[in-house]
Amino acid sequence: MSLRFGRYICCAYRRLGIVGIYFTCVYFLIVYLLLISIDNTLHIDVETTRNIPIQTTALATSTPMPVTTIFPSKTYYMEIGDYPLAFDIKSFVEDTIQEHDLTNYSDIAPINPRQFTYVYRARKCRFDPKVKHKLLILVKSAAGNRDWRRKIRKTWGAEYSDGKTIKIVFLLAATEEETQVFVDYEARKFRDIVQENFLDSYRNNTYKTIMGYNWAMEFCPTASYVLFIDDDIRVNVDKLTTHIDDISRQPQQIIDNLYIGLLIPCGEPYRDNISKWYISYDEYPHEFWPPYLAGGAFLMSHMSALKFQLAIPYVTLVSIDDSYLGIVAKKLGIRPIDSLMYHSSGVYASLSIFQHQGKSSYKRIDRDGDTPFTSHTKLCFIGT
């Protein structure tokens, strides 16, 4: 063996000369260093996500869903001070739900009264009463994205067109006449379009989300869970059903405050005025958003959706819809729950219930500087 190796060296020396051997060594050194650095990157990932095994084992054994988050014990910087309106929205909402006397809140008027009216209201929910967990899926869709809607109706959504087990509706806003023609057609043919008369634009997304809550409470009050997704998301319904079964075995207190998805613990508003997500200090004065869930896919129970719907009229709007819901959650004392099942990219993507099918104008989850693992993250932890 060593003889043969010696012969290789001799041979290499004859062919390459000393300079050739030198460069070969340098080459291997570089490859080695590269491998080491890749390895380190992997180590960092494992380090930052080391609480994940709690979730994967729970998945495997199908014991109650892991409600611990990737960052279970940390407290996030989430100061929003007296973000208007400044009053105890949590008590107000609870008192409203429990039909308590509301005279203590009689001076308080909503700051976002409902401004818009429906163009289309979709068909009301009529679940089969035997279905255990009735699921409403609200798909936020740009009016012009009729191909994305068609794709959903033809692929994973096809089985649920009767709305007996899962009800799927699309949330749209007003658009120019030539696009509206198609929307009219879809609305009549499928009766799955919810549309209000505000302008369909990215910066009006918060209105669209609010419309979703209102519609869900008015026309789908029997849904036990409400899932919001973007129109370019493909849902693995089997995984979703298992996930919901797991959730439903959790204590009632968790279900009543359910707001679960891909957590963005320390998102920062974009202050660059050419950004699509630009937020001025007038619009939102703080350096961080409260922890919130990426808008691409997140799940709520009927009760938590009701709490959000009741609180929204009293919480000043911001034009980034998912960040806004983080503010509402904060006001309600509801803690967003992070789950790997919503991490549609990254190391654990194979666990995810949701896959991006491409880039629709609603793609949000992977936007720069807004992932859970960015380096500024530690700035917003308290005490670590």
Ligand X SMILES: *[C@@H]1O[C@H](CO)[C@@H](O)[C@H](O)[C@H]1NC(C)=O
Residue with smaller CB distance to ligand X, 114 or 203: 203
Distance between the two ends of the chain, CA-based, in angstroms? 55
118 is a contact residue toward ligand X (CB under 6 A): no
Both tokens assigned to 18 = 């000393």
Helix (H, G, I), strand (E, B) or coil at 227: strand
Total binding residues toward ligand X, as defined by CB under 6 A: 9
| 97 lies in the binding site for ligand X (CB under 6 A) | no
Q: Which long-range contacts (CB under 8 A, 24 or more apart) does 280-283 make?
A: 283/318, 283/319
- Residue 96 within binding range of ligand X, rule CB under 6 A: no
Residue closest to 145 by CA, chosen among 358, 365, 366, 368:
358
Contact range with ligand X by CB under 6 A, out of 183-191, 199-207, 297-305, 349-357: 199-207
Which stretches of the chain are DSSP H helices?
A: 2-48, 52-61, 89-97, 146-154, 177-190, 205-219, 237-248, 252-256, 302-311, 321-332
Binding of residue 104 to ligand X (CB under 6 A)? yes
Q: Is 98 in the site for ligand X (CB under 6 A)?
A: no
CB of 196 to ligand X, least distance (A): 9
Among 199, 347, 349, 382, binds ligand X (CB under 6 A): 199
Q: Which is nearer to ligand X, 179 or 201 (CB)?
A: 201
> Is 101 one of the binding residues for ligand X (CB under 6 A)?
yes
Q: Which is nearer to ligand X, 165 or 201 (CB)?
A: 201
Could you please report the per-residue DSSP string of 61-119? HTPSPP---SSTT-EE----TT-SS-S-HHHHHHHHHTT---GGGTT---SS-----EE
* Residue among 37, 73, 106, 273 that touches ligand X (CB under 6 A): 273
Of the candidate spans 79-87, 101-109, 209-217, 304-312, the one that interacts with ligand X by CB under 6 A turns out to be 101-109
The least CB distance from residue 151 to ligand X, in Å, is 26
Tell me the window of 29-37, 145-153, 200-208, 215-223 that interacts with ligand X (CB under 6 A). Answer: 200-208
CA distance 125 to 325: 24
75-76 and 193-199 beta bridge pairing: unpaired
Binds ligand X by CB under 6 A, chosen from 204, 214, 224, 250: 204
Beta bridge partners of 260: 299, 337
Smallest gap from Cβ 274 to ligand X, in A, equals 7
Which residue ranges make up the site for ligand X (CB under 6 A)?
Answer: 101, 103-104, 198-199, 201, 203-204, 273
